[in-house]
Amino acid sequence: MNSSTDQLRRSLLIATLDSLDAPHYLGPSIISATAKSSETLVVVLLSPLFELRHVQGSEDALAPTAKSLVTPISRTERWDDVQRLLTYVYMQATKVAQDNGRILMDLSVLLRGYEQPLPTDLADGMDMCFLVQGDPGPSQSSAEGALPPLYPVAILGGTFDHLHAGHKILLSMGAWISERKLIIGVTDDIMLQRKLHRDLLESFSVRVEKIRSFLQLFRPDLEYQFAAITDVYGPTGWDPDIQALVVSKETLSGAAAIAKERARKSLPALQAFVIDVISPDSEKLDHEDAELLRQTKISSTLIREWIAKNRDVERNASR
């Protein structure tokens, strides 16, 4: 690894967590690592709360691990806490990247238990690794709830053009609650003809490969199935082997339509999980985090506009 921190292209930040509270103590480290990295930053959050102990057919999904007396959290019961945690980290890094004009910077956040091995090649090509030890806090575990800790098969969908933090939070949460497989519906190229700056849209195959690459980094143990989306239903309109649906707050109407269609076809109902913290108006964010979201724009359209603007500047400069 490069010993200089002045010009880093790719960096890795590894931090330990003792609770699911927004890790404000990590803010300065995330800001510093992002500011010093020009292309890539991978943040790995380690905690015994993140252990994946569930085995199909077993009843010890929330059993304490061999290396810790802390009981892993239920991945469904603590849904809101985990999406809030991811949003905090992504927003801290995204704001710095945008302020430094690095709109296309690749930011990824991984959640790992102490017993879950990190990819052996994770540090390959990294110029610097930052290590942060969390402050010990009160242990948090899951009480028994009405929801199972994991669902065998979950599904989500989107366009996923120029994969950004908002997309990665959605994908992460889908993988977070899946036990065996995550189905990802990706909007087909033919459905995107009226998008702004359509010439800058990534092709279906490029979008799929970027999603696959990220998810295999986030949860390499899962099976990932991709489907081209040409209507609101996708595989939810016919596949009986799906139990959970992950949607954003903006696409709740689609979830309602899916529920009605599955009922009409006598397909099993889906448990819906909503991503609703990627908004400054979310009641689940404190004032400081909500204000940060107001200052941070996350949108594929804005990314394409930025690319178009810079392309025009370069063309004019070359004349």
Find the mean pLDDT for residues 49-59.
Answer: 63
Whether the CB-CB separation of 204 and 228 falls below 8 Å is answered with yes
Which pLDDT value is given to residue 311? 82
287 pLDDT exceeds 80?
no
For residues 53 and 62, give the distance between their C-alpha atoms in angstroms, rounded to a whole number: 7
Find the mean pLDDT for residues 152-158.
Answer: 97
Which pLDDT value is given to residue 68? 55
Percent of the chain with pLDDT over 70: 82
Find the mean pLDDT for residues 151-172.
Answer: 96
Higher pLDDT, 32 or 2: 32
Among 137-141, 177-181, 210-214, where is mean pLDDT lowest?
A: 137-141
Helix (H, G, I), strand (E, B) or coil at 34: helix
Which pLDDT value is given to residue 43? 98
Which pLDDT value is given to residue 72? 86
Per-residue confidence band for 15, with pLDDT thresholds at 50, 70 and 90: very high
60 pLDDT exceeds 60?
no
76-124 per-position pLDDT tens digit: 999 999 999 999 999 999 999 999 999 999 999 999 999 888 888 999 9
Among 21-35, 142-156, 196-210, where is mean pLDDT lowest?
A: 142-156
User: Cα–chain-centroid distance for residue 98?
Assistant: 18
Per-residue confidence band for 296, with pLDDT thresholds at 50, 70 and 90: confident
Among 10-19, 79-88, 227-236, 288-297, where is mean pLDDT lowest?
A: 288-297
If we measure between CA atoms, which residue out of 19, 39, 44, 18 comes closest to residue 29?
44
Higher pLDDT, 139 or 177: 177
What average pLDDT is seen over the chain?
86
Which pLDDT value is given to residue 71? 80
271 pLDDT exceeds 50?
yes
Find the mean pLDDT for residues 272-288.
Answer: 68
178-203 per-position pLDDT tens digit: 999 999 999 999 989 888 888 999 99
Which pLDDT value is given to residue 298? 82
Which pLDDT value is given to residue 143? 53
What angle is formed at CA 39 by the lines to CA 37 and CA 42, rounded to 5 degrees?
A: 70
Per-residue confidence band for 55, with pLDDT thresholds at 50, 70 and 90: very low
Whether the CB-CB separation of 235 and 155 falls below 8 Å is answered with yes
Whether the CB-CB separation of 180 and 222 falls below 8 Å is answered with yes
Which pLDDT value is given to residue 135? 61
Per-residue confidence band for 53, with pLDDT thresholds at 50, 70 and 90: low
In the block, which residue shows the tokens 């990932």? 224
C-alpha Rg value of the chain to the nearest Å: 20
> If residue 107 lies in a helix (H) or strand (E), which one and from where to where?
strand 106-112
